């Protein structure tokens, strides 16, 4: 029997807006960003046409919000019609951004589309002219935008022959940095009897279990700087083994036309603006050459590092804003480059040890900073000078607790500022 081949995508977030970008983006650039999620979806359809998969799986959050835009709904319907003309079945579950409770009834899906309800169900897939199921797709959708049920624990393999695939929008119970909807454990995945878990919700590509293979393809288009790198889907191949199981492997296929990237730039030893500019341009050219061929827009955060005589200048006034504007003027190639912002993490060209030994005000400042970097010192910062800020009625709601690394960065910045003010005046 030929291998079973299918495409696993998730988190399309059709018609979603990009965040963290300034309003002075050129109009044509802004328009391409506005339609980037639709471009990624069109490329997904193109991939289906090229690869002729046995079926397509969409693991939730097809829309970006509960009241999905008309454009998003019609684009999805038209895409499904295109797949119907290619005889490609589509299986879809709803996630926290597009739960069943909000599903609009104004669009009718073509006959090749199966949408799963709030309880797990199993639907067979057949190849044309064959009476034995090729695969059995098990799926369940989020009933609301705050799904707390452990849906994975409700999945159970049926007696039917074929590849058993679990389709679900859910979160590993031990995941950090992501909202925990429909939380599950590895034990839940294993107890289900599935041969493959097609998961959605986490926007970066990862595998969370090997037996059975459980994978997140990531989103199809990153929407902010914390979703860096190429985004796309997985082409999954399953081959029957003599023992009745399946050997499953995945291959990533990029789709997103816009790529976010944080570019670390070492400015160690740089002593002039000319050298600074040359290093930044060289780094940007290299980054543009390394992205995948379908990247149309490269959205960059420049993180400046290393010991340089320019440290004080980089931290003054509008220096970084002016640098960003100058570099943006060259953003007319392919891919087009947009500098999101510049993060200064450079250090002055001085020996810190010597500063700690000085008997003047600057030496005292550095000794205080050094003491603050210990575990007890960092805790004292949180409980002392920073406490009123985080306890403020309005500010406290918007602020996230600072990690030790973030506090250390603030101390670095304070040291550089004090050095510039006290040493160079």
241 and 263: one domain?
no
Domain end point (choices 238, 254, 270): 254
pLDDT tens string 71-91: 999 999 999 999 999 999 999
Give the structural domain span for 34. 4-254
392 and 408: one domain?
yes
Pairing status of strand 206-210 against strand 213-216? antiparallel
Q: What pLDDT band is residue 169 in, cutting at 50, 70 and 90?
A: very high
pLDDT tens string 178-210: 677 999 999 999 999 999 999 999 999 999 999
250 and 278: one domain?
no
275 and 396: one domain?
yes
CB-count exposure of residue 395 (10 Å: 0-12, 13-18, 19+): exposed
Alpha-carbon 127 to chain mean position: 34
pLDDT tens string 234-267: 999 999 999 989 999 999 999 999 999 999 999 9
Q: Is pLDDT above 70 for 326?
A: yes
pLDDT at residue number 259: 98
pLDDT at residue number 322: 95
250 and 262: one domain?
no
Q: Output the pTM of the full model.
A: 0.88
pLDDT at residue number 129: 76
81 and 177: one domain?
yes
Domain end point (choices 235, 254, 273): 254
87 and 174: one domain?
yes
Number of domains in the chain: 2
Q: Is pLDDT above 60 for 425?
A: no
pLDDT at residue number 67: 66
CB atoms near residue 126 (< 10 Å): 14
β-bridge mates for residue 59, sequence order: 93
pLDDT at residue number 280: 97
Q: What is the mean pLDDT of residues 84-111?
A: 89
pLDDT at residue number 398: 84
pLDDT at residue number 424: 64
Q: Are 41 and 12 in contact (CB under 8 A)?
A: yes
Q: Is pLDDT above 80 for 216?
A: yes
377 and 242: one domain?
no
Domain end point (choices 234, 254, 274): 254
Average model confidence (pLDDT) for the chain?
A: 92
CB-count exposure of residue 173 (10 Å: 0-12, 13-18, 19+): middle
Q: What is the mean pLDDT of residues 99-119?
A: 87
101 and 233: one domain?
yes
pLDDT at residue number 395: 87
221 and 276: one domain?
no
Cβ contacts of 33 within 8 Å, gap of 6 or more:
18, 21, 25, 258, 297
Provide the 8-state DSSP code for 106.
S
Which CATH number do you get for residue 151?
3.60.21.10
Q: What pLDDT band is residue 107 in, cutting at 50, 70 and 90?
A: confident
């Amino acid at each position: 029997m030929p291998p079973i081949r299918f495409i696993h995508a998730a988190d399309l977030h059709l018609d979603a807006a990009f965040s963290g970008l300034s309003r002075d983006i050129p109009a044509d650039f802004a328009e391409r960003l506005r339609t980037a999620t639709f471009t990624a979806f069109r490329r997904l359809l193109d991939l289906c046409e090229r690869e002729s998969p046995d079926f397509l799986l969409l693991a939730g959050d097809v829309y970006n919000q509960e009241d999905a835009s008309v454009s998003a709904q019609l684009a999805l319907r038209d895409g499904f019609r295109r797949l119907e003309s290619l005889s490609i079945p589509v299986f879809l579950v709803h996630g926290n951004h597009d739960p069943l409770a909000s599903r609009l009834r104004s669009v009718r899906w073509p006959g090749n589309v199966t949408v799963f309800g709030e309880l797990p169900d199993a639907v067979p897939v057949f190849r044309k002219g064959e009476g034995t199921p090729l695969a059995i797709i098990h799926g369940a959708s989020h009933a609301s935008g705050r799904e707390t049920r452990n849906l994975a624990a409700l999945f159970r393999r049926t007696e039917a022959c074929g590849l058993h695939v679990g389709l679900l929008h859910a979160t590993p119970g031990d995941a950090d940095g992501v909202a925990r909807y429909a939380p599950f454990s590895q034990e839940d995945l294993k107890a289900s009897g599935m041969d493959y878990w097609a998961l959605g919700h986490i926007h970066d590509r990862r595998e969370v279990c090997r037996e059975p293979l459980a994978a997140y393809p990531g989103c199809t288009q990153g929407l902010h700087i914390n979703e860096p790198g190429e985004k796309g889907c997985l082409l999954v191949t399953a081959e029957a083994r003599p023992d009745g199981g399946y050997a499953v492997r995945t291959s990533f296929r990029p789709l997103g036309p816009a790529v976010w990237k944080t570019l670390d730039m070492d400015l160690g030893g740089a002593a002039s603006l000319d050298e600074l500019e040359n290093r930044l341009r060289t780094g940007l050219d290299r980054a543009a050459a390394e992205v995948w061929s379908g990247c149309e827009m490269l959205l960059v955060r420049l993180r400046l590092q290393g010991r340089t005589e320019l440290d004080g200048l980089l931290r003054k006034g509008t220096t970084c804003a002016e640098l960003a504007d100058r570099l943006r003027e060259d953003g007319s190639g392919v891919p087009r480059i947009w500098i999101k912002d510049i993060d200064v993490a450079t250090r002055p060209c001085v020996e810190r040890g010597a500063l700690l030994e000085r008997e003047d005000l600057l030496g005292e400042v550095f000794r205080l900073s050094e003491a603050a970097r210990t575990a007890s010192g960092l805790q004292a910062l949180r409980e002392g000078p920073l406490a009123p800020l985080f306890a403020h009625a309005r500010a406290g709601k918007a602020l996230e607790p600072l990690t030790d690394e973030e506090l250390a960065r603030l101390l670095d910045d304070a040291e550089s500022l004090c050095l510039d003010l006290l040493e160079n005046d």
